[in-house]
Structure 1
Amino acid sequence: MKYKAVIFDLDGTLVNSIEDIADAMNQVLKNRNYPVFDYNTYKTFVGSGVKSLIHKALPKENQEPTEIETCLEEMMKVYSENCTNKTATYKGILELLDILYSKHLKLSILSNKEDSLTKKVAAAKLPNYLVPVLGLKHEALKKPNPQVVLEICKFHSIKPEEAIYVGDTGIDIQTAKNANMLAVGVSWGFRDTQELIEQGADCILNTPLDLLKVL
């Protein structure tokens, strides 16, 4: 199979954003005198969008719908103002992207991070040749729903089986499988490789440049 496109998850795959995410959520929790969490714990919280993060971070007894919505609004504001403070690309990512671009592969991003924040982080930290860069706009379209990643294929005028989807969580692997794409996991992200294997990853990268071997 000759692959024509690589679609990437963002957080935990292209960029390490966990400290900015955790710092923002902890600020929301501190403002309410709720318990806060360390960075490693937040790695288990992320991957399914901000609303899911709020659910996991709030105390069980404080998960009324109004409280969730209020915290969501505050989290979005705090994180939006601080989403590029500590976030950085993983070692080897920029080199990989440049090589893929030189090979005329189509490169895109699909994240479960809210769409405007996905675009903001990508614009600050990644090359502008990743097109389109898409985040979550509607909860119903959240990964592993394959609808948006299939729309990216249509945008590039390719078949799903001509694309590789690269991510760091089981949800990313499910997304690729649901879309009939090659499912590639990364070992440097927010989840352990066992989760990726259990979800059926076709292969797992230990460094970004390992993707060149897959191609």
Structure 2
Amino acid sequence: MKYKAAIFDLDGTLVDSLEDLAESMNAVLRRLNYEIHDLESYKYFIGNGIKNLVRQALPEESRDESIISGCFDSMLKEYRERCLDKTKPYAEVPELLDELTKRNIKLCILTNKADELAQKVVSVLLADWNFEFVIGPSVNIPRKPDPTGALLISSSLAIPPAEIIYLGDSGVDMQTAAAANMYAVGALWGYRTREELIRNGARSLIDHPLEFLKYL
């Protein structure tokens, strides 16, 4: 299959944002005298949006909606201020995006990161490349694994889903790609395990970003 477009997840796929997210949430937890978490734990909190991250980071006995809502607002405030402190593209990502651009592959990002923050991160750290779409959750675009965002990209580009390749690091990404009938490639440098990616429908797995090129 000759793919004409690529959809990427953002956190854990194109950029490593783990430390900034963890430090932001831990700052909220400290203020409330709750236990903080290590980076390894945050790998499993990330992927389903910041509100879900907040819910999982809170103690089980403190997960009522009023506390979650307050902590969510605090987390967003913290993260807005530090989302570019330590976040950076993974090694080989710039080279991958350069090569895809040379091959006239349309580049798109579909993320569960709040749209406002996704736009900020991409506009600063990935400003050298032209992304046709950078889409986070909104009123009209549900969070992944709902395939609405992926299918919107397909229809807007006038490229059939079967001609779009999808790269992500989580089971949610693999489910999204499968639901949209796109070729799902799992990124093993991200935050989740090989087993999770396979279990959720990865068609292929790669250890390094430039390996993505062999599918093109």
Q: Give the TM-score band, short-chain normalised.
A: over 0.9
Tell me what 2:2 maps to.
Answer: 2
Tell me what 1:211 maps to.
Answer: 212
Give a deviation string over 1:122-155, Cα, whole Å, max 9, x none: 1111134012111122497110000111001112
Q: Secondary structure at the match of 2:132?
A: coil
Do the aligned partners of 2:115 and 2:138 also contact (CA within 8 Å) in 1?
Answer: yes
Tell me what 1:151 maps to.
Answer: 152
Gap change, CA 1:214 and 1:147, over 3 Å in 2: same
Tell me what 2:38 maps to.
Answer: 38
Give a deviation string over 1:131-183, Cα, whole Å, max 9, x none: 21111224971100001110011121100111011000000000000000000
Map 1:113-132 → 2, pairs under 5 A: 113-126=113-126, 127-132=128-133
Q: Find the aligned partners of 1:140 and 1:146 in 2 and give their Cα distance.
A: 9
Gap change, CA 1:139 and 1:75, over 3 Å in 2: farther
| Pairing 1:162–2:160 present | no
The AA in structure 2 aligned to 1:188 is W
Q: Find the aligned partners of 1:93 and 1:205 in 2 and give their Cα distance.
A: 13
The AA in structure 2 aligned to 1:116 is E
The AA in structure 2 aligned to 1:144 is P
Question: Which contiguous aligned blocks of 4+ residues in structure 1 show a shift greater than 2 angstroms?
Answer: none
| Pairing 1:95–2:123 present | no
**TM-score, length basis structure 2:** 0.97
The AA in structure 1 aligned to 2:135 is L
Map 1:65-84 → 2, pairs under 5 A: 65-84=65-84
Give a deviation string over 1:72-111, Cα, whole Å, max 9, x none: 0110111011101000111000000010001111000000
Q: Find the aligned partners of 2:77 and 2:17 in 1 and give their Cα distance.
A: 16
Q: Where does the alignment leave 5 or more consecutive residues of structure 1 unmatched?
A: none
RMSD: 1.1
Q: Secondary structure at the match of 1:190?
A: coil
Following superposition, the deviation at residue 64 of structure 1 comes to 1.8
Q: Find the aligned partners of 1:169 and 1:95 in 2 and give their Cα distance.
A: 22
Q: Secondary structure at the match of 1:27?
A: helix
Tell me what 2:135 maps to.
Answer: 134
Q: Secondary structure at the match of 1:173?
A: helix
- Sequence identity percentage: 47
Q: Find the aligned partners of 2:211 and 2:141 in 1 and give their Cα distance.
A: 33
